[in-house]
A and B are shown apart, each in its own frame.
Chain A
Amino acid sequence: EDQVTQSPEALRLQEGESSSLNCSYTVSGLRGLFWYRQDPGKGPEFLFTLYSAGEEKEKERLKATLTKKESFLHITAPKPEDSATYLCAVQAESGGYNKLIFGAGTRLAVHP
């Protein structure tokens, strides 16, 4: 069964304290992996797309990496405005068409 698992469920960091969020997946045929940011009460916003193992994408303090079984979202020197829930989603083929499977998310809180 296709599955996406994110860890940790919640993470508390001090401003400037770098860390990583994990997204592990088991799918029959990975078409792409997506990272989203969701602020409370708002819709998820697209961050990155990764397609193949070894690929990396960067945006400001965030860097996403991909291996054959997992993806990491590295946060370098985070600021309080980075506080949000980060969602991982995997695009997989099922029943002849593609679909996105979302993880439960990691709630990140960055304190000054």
Chain B
Amino acid sequence: DSGVTQTPKHLITATGQRVTLRCSPRSGDLSVYWYQQSLDQGLQFLIQYYNGEERAKGNILERFSAQQFPDLHSELNLSSLELGDSALYFCASSARTGGGPYGYTFGSGTRLTVV
């Protein structure tokens, strides 16, 4: 157990729907990062939050949004889902921006299947 908790582990939904993925960072970590990993692809950085504020954006679609709450957990909202959004979504955390001695600590991911 890495200490980063992601729920749900699996999600199956239909095209056009909206889903919310949840992440609880490791205790004490203020930074949360979201990544998308499609089948046999590398990690694509989506967005980062630090202590409740958006810090960096990557290749995140306008249909996707995220936020970090005062208790530091984060949610990634995906709307108007398309078949191509099917992927593993990972959350990672670190104590400070850019990672600490171990870089980022990753959760076990949420597997999203859009049918």
Q: Is the interface of A mostly helix, strand, loop or mixed?
A: strand
Given A91-B99, A99-B97, A100-B98, verify A42-B104 contact (CB < 8 Å).
no
B111 contacts which chain A residues (CB < 8 A)?
41
What 0/1 readout, one digit per residue, does chain A (73-112) give for beta carbons within 8 Å of chain B? 0000000000000010101010101111011110000000
Please give the residue numbers on chain A whose beta carbons come within 8 Å of chain B beta carbons, in ascending order: 31-32, 34, 36, 41-46, 49, 87, 89, 91, 93, 95, 97-100, 102-105
The total of chain B residues at the interface (CB under 8 A) is 26
Kindly state whether residue B49 has any CB partner on chain A within 8 Å.
no
CA distance A102 to B90 in the complex (A): 14
Contact sample, A vs B, 21 pairs, CB 8 Å cutoff: A32-B99, A32-B103, A36-B103, A36-B106, A41-B88, A42-B109, A43-B2, A43-B90, A43-B108, A46-B105, A49-B101, A87-B43, A89-B103, A91-B98, A91-B99, A99-B48, A99-B98, A100-B98, A100-B99, A102-B42, A104-B41
